[in-house]
Structure 1
Amino acid sequence: MSVASIDALLPEDEETVTFADLGLPEAVVRKLATNGVTTPFPIQAATIPDALQGKDILGRGRTGSGKTLSFGLPLLTQLAGSRTERKRPRGVILTPTRELAMQVSDALQPYGDVLGLKLKVVCGGTSMQNQITALERGVDILVATPGRLRDLIGRGSCSLADVEVAILDEADQMSDLGFMPEVTELMDQLPEGGQRMLFSATMEKEIDTLVRRYLDSPVLHEVDAAQGAVTTMSHHVLVVKPRDKAPVTSAIAARKGRTIIFVRTQLGADRVAEQLREGGVGAEALHGGMTQGARTRTMADFKDGKVNVLVATDVAARGIHVDNIDLVLNVDPAGDHKDYLHRSGRTARAGLSGTVVSLALPHQRRQIFRLMEDAGVDASRHIIGRGDVFDEEVTRITGARSLTEVQADATANAAKQAEREAAKLTRQLERAQQRAAELREEAERLTARAARERGDDPEAAVAEAAAALTAEVEAEVAKELRREQRREERELRDQRDQRRDVKRDEPRGGDRPSFNRDRDRREGDRRGGGDRPSFNRDRDRREGDRGGFRRDDRPSFNRDRREGDRGGFRRDDRRPGSHSRDDRRPYARRDDHRGGGRSFDRRTDKPRWKRNG
């Protein structure tokens, strides 16, 4: 299969190309302008014209280079104006992760609305019934993960027989996550003659197999090679000792701006996020062990700026697109150079600048620098000694701040908020005072009029009314002060009771039955143990009648009758019909049994005879 290669980097004289020049519908161009998108990125300017002509496309470029609109806008344009049957979408976009599927759908939905096309996200962790219902009503474009789409097809809720355009986004990530068997199974169900577009940051063996098997004479567009070593991204390695790793992480996470921290495991993500929160840094974890609702809320909080730090694993973070992430911190080394490139691609997106910092323990230096070499990245190295986390160079690179500084900022922000509240209350107080003065003047005027109507002295009536009003207000204020004082006393009393209850509930040796004879023997009178059951025989013998269960106070089952009538069950007091040692029936001795004679059968209680010899 021949592959035509086109250099997608635009010459300087073509930098003024607009979306209108690429052949997109006018409604889409207006919507782009409304969203502030007027000038296409290089990959978009190179890909869109060929995609609108129906050619198969092979796009190579790092994440964040603008590939979503490169394939999404031509897809929407080609499907506009036609009707879609139930359960039979006409366009399919396959993505490796749920987050990427949602982001692709969110990016294309505004333009789909302009052209009257319906998009639906189909991925795991969300309601399958909701997806089935949407397909029953008719969906033009599915943005799906391979596993969930295969499940829907297996249930008979979806068919790919009418797909005209199929797109594989981040195909190298699908290969890394083991989706290739499912991808090939889905691609085999597509009708022949349709348009295929594949976008990937790297061209691994499996990706090349997909290209040769499913794409027909694809046109290659390459922008920002897979190594991603662009001039707007800087790479640094900080060599730290194990004891300094956590403080360095906290100091860097406390920087101003959005930061993504990568760790190796889900438990590690939860642990690092919790440690950062305890230090006053707003951080949340993101990993595959979370429910989809929790992952969506975490991403929304991160995008909205409610938290500045996202602690993520490689799988969960693949495909994350958040603007203005200017630092990626690798707390744990990446598994290989591809993972490192995917991590790094979270920053310096859409031509913006960014920094990638990796923490390396002394024994990890060789592994990390070999990984950098495989990724084609030239990284600077900085050795961090104890106390050097705020070195001028490190602070310049990472923007690290101490947790004390973070707490100072938080306190300053709280003080500002309190000042704003105080200013607001002051304005309300001034308005209330002004209103009270106006009402008092009106009351005095009406009181004077009423006094004149009665023939009384107006000034005396006004003075009397004012005095009564003042006395009433002072009484109300005094009453409110007393209520407030009682409320405060009640709160203090509740706090004291609560502390006392907590102190009383604390485990103490004297609050539990003791099974330690030596300790009971030593503590004895000092603890006043007469109210507790005693299990110490020696102490009981010494303490006499000071409490506890003594041997003489317990029901006795001793065969000895030394107790006399002091209680307990004596052998002579057993139920009627029972036999004491003296009056029970005699049994023949063993020697007598051998010689014959009469004996009693123990089971039937009847005499039995045994012959001699």
Structure 2
Amino acid sequence: MGRKLKEATPPSDPEIPNDPELNSEKKKKKKKKNKNKDPENTIHSPKRKIEELEKTEEFSDSKERKKKNKKKKEKENKNEDEGLEENGKNEQSGIHEDGHVAVTGKDVKDAKYAPLKSFAESKLPSDVLQCCRNFESPSPIQSRAWPFLLDGRDFIGIAATGSGKTLAFGVPGIMHILKKRKGTFSKGRNPLCLVLSPTRELAQQISDVLCEAGKPCGVISVCLYGGTSKVAQISALKSGVDIVIGTPGRLKDLIEMGVCCLKDVTFGVLDEADRMLDMGFEPEVRHILGQTCSARQMVMFSATWPLLVHQLAQEFMDPNPVKVVVGSEDLAANHDVMQIVEVLDDRARDARLVALLEKSHKSDQTRVLVFVLYKVEATRVENMLQKGGWKVVSIHGNKSQHERTKALSLFKKGTCPLMIATDVAARGLDIPDVEVVINYSFPLTTEDYVHRIGRTGRAGKNGVAHTFFTQQNKGLAGELVNVLREAGQIVPDSLLKFGTHVKKKESKLYGAHFKEISVDAPKSKKITFNDSDDE
């Protein structure tokens, strides 16, 4: 230990400290050693970093990527067959046939919480399972969530869009209602189940699924959202409902009007919780949950686990909720999507968009979803394309709900397979067979970029995402490079010129020291100081 300290102490040799000839010879050797050490060739230099990144591009070919993913999957399946599991007092992890599933929480190793391999294992009534008749087996999130939710546990789920999250909480919600009602449904009944959603489109999508799932059992749902008349919604509430699905703004309005009573709600769901809080709905969410029964079962689905969502879970959930993560909490894009990033001048985007549409949309059958950042930008791009003879629809906040619903319906049916959208369509929406996503404007966060391109490449199909990246987006270049490299995609040299630095994750309220918090983190303690004259 002492010798290492001496060797590290400059400037003289520890064994012959005062020999001028040997010291001179050592300096010559050192000089010769550093002769070719050009700053541009150092391992930390920008030039060297680019060269190292370029080497990795040799493996970004799709065949290599598929081969690599195949080997990874074979390894995971092998681990599953051997029955490997991670150690931990209250933690259980396993490899599901569709990917990695991590489960944490109290008593999660209990045999009664074993993941379901078939719908029959759930032992649910046939009329409840009728909504699952088109599926061979439960999805990973469903197979893990149902045992806990049917047992009345508070639950946090983190899973990719399109993984069956709606039925993951919908089926247990229906069973909760049937047990509470005991098969009798009175007219004018108050709801027992509440589902909160950040956007109107997602709320409608959840409503469509739950209405169909509840019909054979006599369970009635209503969808409450803004941008449309309250009359029909108030009428439905007065007739009596079992499940309320709604956006925070409209739901709070109807509560304050005295027409929506949530005092009997004993099963609450927050879908896309992180998105809801990002949109500034925290006061509304807290107000609405405060109207529900205190002895309720809470379910939260969230793509990420930031501080505000953690605090919400601490306030409205049991101290030890179950947390299931399907895949990874790390930011990663769908590997079935080919990501093409093009760095160009802001003024060149219109011409490039038209060129891409002429190439990918010439048959008028290919569904193309074009994302923009602002409502005004959506209108301008839509008008520009319409003047060019393109048949196009759009959805954004400046359109009425009727117009948004109609546009989305035309796009889904394929009647008008070209749609311009803001980030209201980036998350949660299940739009089948979108073959191409074009990011006309890069989003404000890399998370939104991942969600946007996730609109294509769904259900095992391949998709293409073409992204325009401009000078004003350079602050997100490092994060985008990481997403591309993780998915084995080509990183263009023009993007690397912006650098690969990644900023620390920041919270709007708490600054750069903000970090992801574990669900098992201890609650904060209040400290009271004794009165003192020293202030």
SS in 1 for 2:228: coil
Q: Which residue matches 2:149?
A: 51
Residue of structure 2 equivalent to 1:74: 172
Q: Distance in 1 between matches of 2:355 and 2:299?
A: 44
Contact 1:283 1:310 in 2 (8 A): yes
One-letter amino acid of the counterpart of residue 234, structure 1: M
1:315 aligned residue:
424
**2:172 corresponds to 1:172:** no
Equivalent position of 1:41 in the other structure: 139
Per-residue Cα deviation, 1:168-221 (whole angstroms, up to 9, x for no partner): 000011011101111011112221221110000000110111111111121111
Q: Could you tell me whether the CA contact under 8 Å between 1:261 and 1:311 is conserved in 2?
A: yes
Instruction: Provide closer, same or farther for how the CA distance between residues 142 and 365 of structure 1 changes in structure 2, counting only shifts above 3 A.
Output: closer
**Deviation at residue 377 of structure 1 after TM alignment:** 6.0
Partner of 2:96: 10
- 1:300 alignment partner in structure 2: 409
Distance in 1 (CA, whole Å) between partners of 2:265 and 2:271 is 16
Identity %: 34
1:125 offset after TM fit, Å?
Answer: 1.3
Residue matched to 2:190: 88
1:232 aligns with 2:336: yes
Give the deviation of 1:364 after TM superposition: 4.3
Q: What is the aligned partner in structure 1 of residue 475 from structure 2?
A: 367
Q: Which has the higher helix share?
A: 1
Q: CA deviation at 1:345?
A: 2.7
Partners of 1:302 and 1:310 within 8 A in 2: yes
User: Of the candidates 7, 23, 29, which is equivalent to residue 129 of structure 2?
Assistant: 29
Do the aligned partners of 1:6 and 1:220 also contact (CA within 8 Å) in 2?
Answer: no
Tell me, yes or no, if the aligned pair for 1:8 and 1:221 is still in contact at 8 Å.
no
Equivalent in the alignment of 2:245: 143
1:53 and 1:220 map into 2 onto residues whose CA distance is 15
Instruction: Quote the Cα distance in structure 2 between the aligned partners of 1:273 and 1:3.
Output: 56
Q: Distance in 2 between matches of 1:183 and 1:29?
A: 31
- Determine the C-alpha separation between the residues in 2 that align with 1:4 and 1:157: 43
List per-residue Cα deviations over 1:149-174 (Å, max 9, x = no partner): 11111111121111120000000110
The partner residue of 1:244 within 348, 364, 367 is: 348
Are 2:484 and 2:491, in contact at CA under 8 Å, matched by a contact in 1? no
Q: Give the direction of change, closer, same or farther, for the CA distance of 1:202–1:320 in structure 2 (3 Å limit).
A: same
Could you tell me how far 1:124 is from its partner in structure 2?
0.5
1:374 Cα shift?
A: 7.0
SS of aligned partner of 1:222: strand
Preserved CA contact (<8 Å) 2:441 2:468: yes
Alignment of 1:366-445 (within 5 A): 366-372=474-480, 378=486, 379-382=489-492
3-state SS of the aligned residue for 2:262? coil
**What are the residue-to-residue correspondences of 1:424-503 with 2, within 5 Å?**
none
User: 1:380–1:364: structure 2 CA closer, same or farther, 3 Å change rule?
Assistant: farther
Change beyond 3 A, Cα 1:366–1:115? same
Match of 1:188 in 2: 290
Question: Any conservation in 2 of the 1:43–1:223 contact (CA below 8 Å)?
Answer: yes
- Corresponding residue number in structure 2 for 1:61: 159
Contact 1:327–1:356 (Cα < 8 Å) also in 2 = yes
Distance in 2, Cα, partners of 1:12 & 1:341: 20
Asked which structure has the greater CA Rg, the reply is 1
Q: Distance in 1 between the 2:384 and 2:98 partners?
A: 49
Letter in 1 for 2:478: R
Which deviations, in whole Å up to 9, do the C-alpha atoms of 1:343-382 show, x marking residues without a partner? 2232233443333221123x24633422425768645344
- What is the DSSP-based 3-state SS (H/G/I as helix, E as strand, rest coil) of the residue aligned with 1:196? strand
Name segments (4+ residues, structure 1) moved above 6 Å.
12-16
**Contact preservation (8 Å) 1:340, 1:375:** no
| Aligned 1:533-552 pairs, distance under 5 A | none
**The residue matched to 1:167 in structure 2 has which SS?**
strand
2:531 aligns to what?
Answer: none
Inter-partner Cα distance in structure 2 for 1:118 and 1:351: 33
Q: What does residue 10 of structure 2 align with?
A: none
Match of 1:176, as an amino acid?
D
Equivalent residue letter for 1:10 = H
> Counterpart of 2:391 in structure 1: which amino acid?
G
8 Å CA contact 2:336–2:462 kept in 1: the answer is yes
Answer yes or no: is the 8 Å Cα contact 1:240–1:383 preserved in 2.
Answer: no
**Distance (whole Å) between structure 2 residues aligned to residue 261 and residue 57 of structure 1:** 35
The structure-2 alpha-carbon separation of the partners of 1:123 and 1:30, relative to structure 1 and needing over 3 Å to count, comes to: closer
Q: Give the letter for the 2:141 counterpart.
A: I
Partner of 2:128: helix, strand, or coil? helix
2:161 counterpart SS class: coil
Answer yes or no: is 1:223 the counterpart of 2:223.
no
Contact 1:330 1:357 in 2 (8 A): yes
Counterpart Cα distance in 1 of 2:456 and 2:296: 35
Q: Is 1:354 equivalent to 2:463 in the alignment?
A: yes
Which residue number in structure 2 is paired with residue 327 of structure 1? 436
Of residues 363-372 and 251-260 in structure 1, the stretch that sits farther from structure 2 once superposed is 363-372
CA contact (8 A) 2:116 2:143 kept: no
The 1-side partners of 2:89 and 2:411 are apart by 41
**Contact 2:273 2:300 (8 Å CA) reproduced:** yes
Report the counterpart of residue 483 of structure 1 in structure 2. none
> What amino acid is aligned across from residue 228 of structure 1 in structure 2?
A
The alpha carbon displacement at 1:91 in A equals: 0.5
How far apart, in 2, do the equivalents of 1:69 and 1:187 lie? 22
Structure 2 partner of 1:595: none
Pairwise CA distance, 1:338: 2.5
Letter in 2 for 1:367: G
How far off is 1:135 after superposition?
1.1
Residue in 2 aligned with 1:156? 258
Q: Which position in structure 1 is the counterpart of 2:391?
A: 282
Q: Is the 8 A contact 2:484 2:490 kept in 1?
A: no
Residue 16 of structure 1: CA displacement? 9.5
Partner amino acid for 1:359? F
Q: CA 1:93–1:9 in 2, change beyond 3 Å: closer, same or farther?
A: farther
Q: Deviations over 1:530-575 (max 9, x none)?
A: xxxxxxxxxxxxxxxxxxxxxxxxxxxxxxxxxxxxxxxxxxxxxx
Amino acid at match of 1:369: A
* Cα distance between partner residues in 2 of 1:6 and 1:96: 31
Secondary structure class of the residue paired with 1:26: coil
**In structure 1, distance between residues paired with 2:392 and 2:213:** 34
1:127-142, aligned counterparts within 5 Å? 127-142=229-244
Conserved? CA contact 1:286–1:312, under 8 Å: yes
**Corresponding residue of 1:477:** none
**Letter matched to residue 474 of structure 2:** R
Could you say if the C-alpha distance between residues 248 and 215 of structure 1 is closer, same or farther in structure 2, counting changes exceeding 3 Å? Answer: same
Letter in 1 for 2:137: T
Q: Which amino acid aligns with 2:129?
A: V
1:195 maps to a residue whose letter is: Q
User: Gaps spanning 5+ residues in structure 2: where?
Assistant: 1-87, 100-113, 495-535
User: RMSD of aligned C-alpha atoms?
Assistant: 2.7
Q: How far, CA to CA, are the matches of 1:348 and 1:71 in structure 2?
A: 24
Q: Label 1:6 to 1:295 Cα distance change in 2 as closer, same or farther (>3 A).
A: farther
Change (3 A) 1:15 1:190: closer
Aligned partner of 1:206 in structure 2 is: 308
Q: 1:38 to 1:152 in 2, by over 3 A?
A: same
With over 3 angstroms needed to count, the CA separation of the structure-2 counterparts of 1:269 and 1:69, relative to structure 1, is same
Do 1:88 and 1:159's aligned partners in 2 also have CA atoms closer than 8 Å? yes
